[in-house]
Structure 1
Amino acid sequence: MLQDSLIHLINVGLQSVQEYLALHVLLCLIPAFFLAGAIASLFSKESVLKYFGASTPKYISYSVAAVSGCLLAVCSCTVLPLFAGIYKRGAGIGPATTFLFSAPAINILAIVYTAKILGYDIGVARAVGAILLSVIIGLIMHVVYEKNNGGHNGIKTFNSEEHAHTVQLFMLLLAILVIPEIIKSWTYLALVEIPLIAATVYLSFKWYTAEERASWMQETWFLVKMIAPLLLVGVFFAGILVELLPSEIVVKYVGGNNLLSYFIASVTAALMYFSTLTEVPIISALTLLGMAKGPALSMLLAGPALSLPSMIVISRIMGVKKGLSYIGLVVIMAMISGIVFDYYML
């Protein structure tokens, strides 16, 4: 009997993986991996991180920190050493914590995948919420803790020509990724997508050296190797979760629009460790069981920013007092975001 149950659960998980591969790989993940790989390899991380000095004008440092996740394509595991590096080198506590919260939350892969799987309303809310909350959290940390941490000497910018090419390539890859959501006919889709892909390939050879293209492909392959296996494992166990978890439990604790639902969703996500993108199939499974959209958004905002291991690391980098303040702010702000989302959507 136990053996039959295990075989059944394995088959359920494998079926979830099969359905996922059929629906989301060709037109979703493959373009997204190429897009993230291009951003990670062709944008200069050093140029972005130079904006984080305490002496940098706030409207610049917070703006760059809030959107740098898209430019740097960092995941939840990569952001901690980057945060430690900029903080130890004298970045202001405000921009540094803004970066710490926002960078993994607006990873381009995560935003696109969230929109594709959970809907564009939650996808947009996740992106906008991550940017706004990161600035709010950073400003609160600045007001409470900032002293004279020193700063960097001046503001340095991208090479304008190189930056322009990268932005243009970004827009082409983004179009390849988004157009399948607009055009549903395979015939018309092919008429649009094939020229776009051909133009992207041609311009890649025209604008970038062989070394830069190789770096792009290596970064893309690195992301595939790092994320795809974990993502498939997440999909597998999400399928089993739907089979095993009674929907009544989900509806009882996170299915409503009450304060307890948002609190449980935020705290649970903060304590769990989500590898990049794996939070999406898991939360998708919970929504199928009755989880409300507001608590789902709270989980999406708190999950990438925190985990039990990252809490320990953050507290060691910033100190226990600042670390606990940051952790508390993330949980509270994630709750508020879920409440506001449900208020305006219902």
Structure 2
Amino acid sequence: MSSDYLLYLMNAGFQSVQNYLALHVLLCLIPAFFLAGAIASLFSKESVLKFFGADAPKYVSYSVAAASGCLLAVCSCTVLPLFAGIYKRGAGIGPATTFLFSAPAINILAIVYTAKILGYDLGVSRAVVAVSLSIIIGLTMAAMFERGNVERKKIATFGEEKHKNSAMLFILLLGILVVPEIFSTWTMMAAILIPLIAVTIYLSFKWFTREELSSWMGETWFLVKQITPLLLIGVFFAGIIVEVLPSEYVARFVGGESVSSNLVASVSGALMYFSTLTEVPIISALTLLGMGKGPALSMLLAGPALSLPNMIVISRIMGAKRGASYITLVVIIATLAGLGFGYVIG
């Protein structure tokens, strides 16, 4: 490998990091970290376990986990601090991984955009299949790893008023996270976002004690330190991988509806980094080059759910064995879903 080509790849990696920081830190990652820190510190364990805990009724916990992704416009990396907050708070690994898969896969903006660009068959199939697969993945992870699950550390709980305030804070922080995805112009975004942030800060000081606010900031900073370095390293190498594996090269192996083409699409999508909605134009370009609809669905499912930085951080949060199991499940199930979709429409 020549020094010029190596320098080119390094520059591609740094450019990937630069673009990521410019596009995602201010409006995506920072609100996501604050939201995750609030979940980890200001929400009582019972309020989270009510829907996500291992002891909650499965029809409740998995339904909420699968559907909650519709409320968030997050990519495979932005969802990580939210997942870490839920998982750390005591949620069962089944509902937590259901949420981890569903949140980036079925946000409303991505589904609508997919239908408009790639066709309503792929748009509807992406939504329906992603919800179903997220539950299957969660149930499988629970069956594999929740036997003999140990109790997490005791967490202080709040009274009824604190539950109410925590829920209201969650709604406000969720609004801060979602507003940039709704409004395309900076003027409209600022007109809504700035007052919303100001209200959130004011009510936070009004509702919570100094100790609780300190705990919130501490949890947020812990997540930033744990996730951000690995995230940036992963984004750097993901930028290099995109250069090493150009779309034209990948497209040669994902034509038709065979098992191999769906597997290649699933693995390729898992290795690439797709920020929110960017998977759609990339896959649109690949379909013009001959990509089959089955492989397109496989990449639509695996791509937003996984990426190289995502895999690194997931393994750090859950442990290497659980992380590898989750990654393998996503790739296999996305492949089978694409194969089935190609067979149905074929």
By the TM > 0.5 criterion, same fold?
Answer: yes
Report the Cα offset of residue 220 of structure 1.
1.5
Counterpart position of 2:253: 253
Q: How does 1:243-282 map to 2 (within 5 A)?
A: 243-254=243-254, 258-266=258-266, 279-280=273-274
Asked whether 1:313 is paired with 2:321, we answer yes
SS in 2 for 1:52: coil
Report the Cα offset of residue 250 of structure 1.
1.0
Is the CA contact 1:40–1:73 (under 8 Å) kept in the aligned structure 2?
Answer: no
Counterpart position of 1:91: none
Counterpart position of 2:82: 73
Q: What is the rounded CA distance, in whole Å, between the counterparts of 2:179 and 2:6 in structure 1? A: 41
SS in 1 for 2:83: coil
Is the CA contact 2:40–2:89 (under 8 Å) kept in the aligned structure 1?
Answer: no
Change (3 A) 1:338 1:176: farther
Is the CA contact 2:65–2:102 (under 8 Å) kept in the aligned structure 1?
Answer: no
Is the CA contact 2:102–2:134 (under 8 Å) kept in the aligned structure 1?
Answer: no
Report the Cα offset of residue 181 of structure 1.
2.6
Give structure 1 stretches of 5+ with no counterpart. 87-95, 273-277, 316-322
- Counterpart AA for 2:298: P
Q: What is the rounded CA distance, in whole Å, between the counterparts of 2:44 and 2:124 in structure 1? A: 26
Asked whether 1:299 is paired with 2:307, we answer no
Query: Which has the higher mean CA deviation after the structures are superposed, 159-168 or 5-14?
Result: 159-168
Counterpart position of 2:54: 52
RMSD across aligned C-alpha pairs, in angstroms? 5.2
- Counterpart AA for 2:100: P
Quote the sequence identity (%).
Answer: 49
Q: What is the rounded CA distance, in whole Å, between the counterparts of 1:48 and 1:10 in structure 2? A: 43
Is the CA contact 1:43–1:166 (under 8 Å) kept in the aligned structure 2?
Answer: yes
Report the Cα offset of residue 174 of structure 1.
1.9
- Counterpart AA for 2:300: L
Asked whether 1:99 is paired with 2:86, we answer no
- Counterpart AA for 1:198: A
Report the Cα offset of residue 268 of structure 1.
7.2
Report the Cα offset of residue 198 of structure 1.
0.5
Q: What is the rounded CA distance, in whole Å, between the counterparts of 1:343 and 1:34 in structure 2? A: 44
Deviations 1:171-212 (A, max 9, x none): 212222222233233333222211111000001111111111
Change (3 A) 1:204 1:63: same
Q: What is the rounded CA distance, in whole Å, between the counterparts of 1:228 and 1:72 in structure 2? A: 9
Is the CA contact 2:66–2:98 (under 8 Å) kept in the aligned structure 1?
Answer: yes
Q: How does 1:143-158 map to 2 (within 5 A)?
A: none
Q: What is the rounded CA distance, in whole Å, between the counterparts of 1:336 and 1:210 in structure 2? A: 51
Q: What is the rounded CA distance, in whole Å, between the counterparts of 2:93 and 2:224 in structure 1? A: 28
Change (3 A) 1:202 1:105: same
Asked whether 1:238 is paired with 2:238, we answer yes
Is the CA contact 2:267–2:331 (under 8 Å) kept in the aligned structure 1?
Answer: yes
Give structure 2 stretches of 5+ with no counterpart. 70-78, 116-122, 152-156
Q: What is the rounded CA distance, in whole Å, between the counterparts of 2:342 and 2:47 in structure 1? A: 38
Report the Cα offset of residue 9 of structure 1.
1.9
Counterpart position of 2:75: none
Report the Cα offset of residue 232 of structure 1.
1.9
Report the Cα offset of residue 228 of structure 1.
1.9
- Counterpart AA for 2:218: Q
Report the Cα offset of residue 7 of structure 1.
1.9
Deviations 1:265-292 (A, max 9, x none): 446788x8xxxxx8546x9689478386
Counterpart position of 1:89: none
Report the Cα offset of residue 43 of structure 1.
2.1
Aligned pair count reads: 306
Q: What is the rounded CA distance, in whole Å, between the counterparts of 2:213 and 2:224 in structure 1? A: 17
Q: What is the rounded CA distance, in whole Å, between the counterparts of 2:220 and 2:18 in structure 1? A: 23
Q: What is the rounded CA distance, in whole Å, between the counterparts of 1:192 and 1:111 in structure 2? A: 27
Deviations 1:234-261 (A, max 9, x none): 2222222222224333112346554433
Counterpart position of 1:169: 169
Change (3 A) 1:41 1:265: farther
Q: What is the rounded CA distance, in whole Å, between the counterparts of 1:116 and 1:235 in structure 2? A: 23
Q: What is the rounded CA distance, in whole Å, between the counterparts of 1:134 and 1:213 in structure 2? A: 34
Q: What is the rounded CA distance, in whole Å, between the counterparts of 1:21 and 1:7 in structure 2? A: 21
Query: Which has the higher mean CA deviation after the structures are superposed, 332-341 or 233-242?
Result: 332-341
Counterpart position of 2:73: none
- Counterpart AA for 1:52: A
